[in-house]
Structures are given as C-alpha cells and as structure tokens.
Amino acid sequence: MSLLNILRYPDPRLHKVAKPVTVFDQRLKTLAANMAETMYDAPGVGLAATQVDVHEQVIVIDVSDAHDQLQVFINPEIVWASEERKVYDEGCLSVPGIYDGVERPARVKVRAKDVDGKEFEVDADGLLAVCIQHEMDHLKGKVFVEYLSPLKRNRIKTKLLKEERELKRDQKKVVGAR
C-alpha cells in the first residue's frame, strides 16, 4: 500500500465532479486500500477520491474509535434524508486545522456498491451521517467551507495560501542549505 497526496483547498482540482465507477477490478481495490491508509495516516475519519486527485465516485470512512470498521462506498447516492437537521462542527483533510459548523440532515439512507460491485444500503445518523454527506460533497466538487459565509471562506483561503507559501519558502531554505 502507499500513501496518497491529499489536495489542499483552494486547489481547483477539488472542484472537479467525480465520474461513476464502471469497472470493479484490482485497480479499484488498490485505490480504496491506499485511500484508507492515507485517511488513517492523516489522521481522519473520511476521504473522497477527489481529495487525492482521482475523480471517481469512491469514498472511504471509518468513524470507529479503534479505526477498525472501514467502510468503502462506490457510486454512493442518498436515497432518503430526514427533515430534521443538525449543525455539526466539520473539519476536512483538504482544509487542515479549520473547523466550523455545517447544517445537514440528521439522518440519511445511502445506497452504494462495495469494491466487488455488490450493492448495499446503510442507514446512518450522527457522525457517520455527517461524514457520508461531507465526503459525497467532495464527489460533487464541493468543499465544506462553501457552506460558510464568503467572509469566512476568504479568510480560510488566505490563511491556507499563506501557510502553503511559507512551507514552500522553508523547503527552499532547506534545499539551499545542503
């Protein structure tokens, strides 16, 4: 297995819409395994293929405390969402260090396929429901900060771009010192 590079907001590739998976083969299983390893290493509870610059409808999620209940959703679709809504503080591996409240349906029913192409359904609430919806947004090219006010979104973008510039500057200093 290998770790994948996670795109950082505001990278424009995060806004690409993912295509449905049509071939269920070893490449797909390897992608899901690499995504899971990347998610656990980050550490996070969910990761969409879009975040690792693969624009296919694949998400991995594990909201368990022991990190031993990996779920892989291929071509997920929400077939039911509750009218009840809740605000949860969300974070994102593509928007490191930023957390803010996002309102979403409190419960959802999701239909998807596993890595072998077998269809299944999951009824989700709490953190799992939030995570599924958050990761499915990535497949549609949407990042959670887009739910926030334009002012907050611009502050986040400015902060992350500044951090990226500083990181690149520091890397050049290290290379130049050799």
43-55 confidence digits (pLDDT tens): 999 999 999 999 9
Residue 164 has pLDDT above 90, yes or no: no
> Is residue 135 annotated as part of the catalytic site, yes or no?
yes
Q: What is the pLDDT of residue 143?
A: 97
- Name the pLDDT band for 1 (thresholds 50, 70, 90): confident
Asked whether the whole model's pTM tops 0.85, one would answer yes
Tell me the binding residues for Fe cation: 92, 134, 138
For 86, how many CA atoms within 13 A lie in the half-sphere containing its CB? 14
Domains along the chain with CATH numbers: 12-148 (3.90.45.10)
Q: Whole-number mean pLDDT of the chain?
A: 95
Residues contributing to the annotated binding site:
92, 134, 138
- Give me the percent of the chain exceeding a pLDDT of 70: 97
Confidence of residue 24 (pLDDT cuts 50, 70, 90): very high
- In this predicted structure, the answer to whether residue 176 has a pLDDT above a threshold of 70 is no
Q: Which of 37, 119, 135, 166 is catalytic?
A: 135
